[in-house]
Amino acid sequence: EKRAAHWASQRVLDRALRQISCVELGLDSPYVTRAIASWDRTWKYIEDVLTDGRTWLMGEQFTLAEICYAPFIARIEGLKLLEIWLEGRSLAQDWWERIMQRPSFAASQVGPSKDERAIYEREGSKVARGIAERLVSIRAGRGLEMALAAFPHGSPAQGAT
C-alpha cells in the first residue's frame, strides 16, 4: 500500500515504471538486464581507455570523470558485486583502487554508511550469482532475448500473440 502510494506520487513516469519492474520482477526485470549490460560496457570502456598507460580516464590528471563514477561504483562495491564486472579487467581494477586510495575519497565516505554495510553485503549476496549468470548471457549476445522475456504477452519486437 505504501509502495503503491509512493509510485503514484512519482512525477517521473519512467522512474516509477523502473521501480515497479525491479520490485515485481527482480533480476528478471528488463531494467536489471539493461543495468548489467550498461555496467559491462562502462567497465569495458574504462579498461580499453587505460590500455595506453594513463593513470586516469582523461590522462594523468584526476578529473570529474572519476568523481562522477565514484559514488555509483562505491555502492556496487558495497553490495560486493563489483568483482563480477572487474574479473579479467586488471587496469580497471587498478584504476578503482587508485580512486579508493585518494584521501578525498576516504574523507567523503562515499558508498554505504557504516550502518548500511552489513545490509548491502547481505542483499548483494542474494543476487550476485544471478547477476553473474545474466552477464554471461549478455556477453553471449542474449541480452535482448532476456529483457524481452519479461513481457508476459510475448515480445513487442515480434508482436504480441
CB 21, CB 30: distance < 8 Å: yes
CA-wise closest residue to 99 among 68, 138, 139: 68
Residue 8 near residue 133 (C-beta atoms within 8 A):
no
Q: Please provide the average confidence, as pLDDT, over all residues in the chain.
A: 92
Q: Is the pLDDT of residue 155 over 70?
A: no
Q: Are 85 and 135 in contact (CB under 8 A)?
A: yes
Residue 150 is predicted with a pLDDT of 79
C-alpha cell at 146: 532476456
**Residues 56-65 as b or e (16 or more Cβ within 10 Å = b):** bbeeeebeee
Residue 156's pLDDT is what?
Answer: 57
pLDDT in tens, 7-41: 889 899 998 999 999 999 999 999 999 999 999 99
| Rounded-to-integer distance, Cα 38 and Cα 51, Å | 20
Greater confidence (86 vs 155) lies with 86
Give 65-116 pLDDT, tens digit per residue: 999 999 999 999 999 999 999 999 999 999 999 999 999 998 998 889 999 9
pLDDT at 147 over 50: yes
How many Å apart are CA 58 and CA 78, to the nearest integer?
Answer: 26
Q: How many CB atoms lie within 10 A of CB 79?
A: 22
Are 34 and 135 within 8 A, CB to CB? no
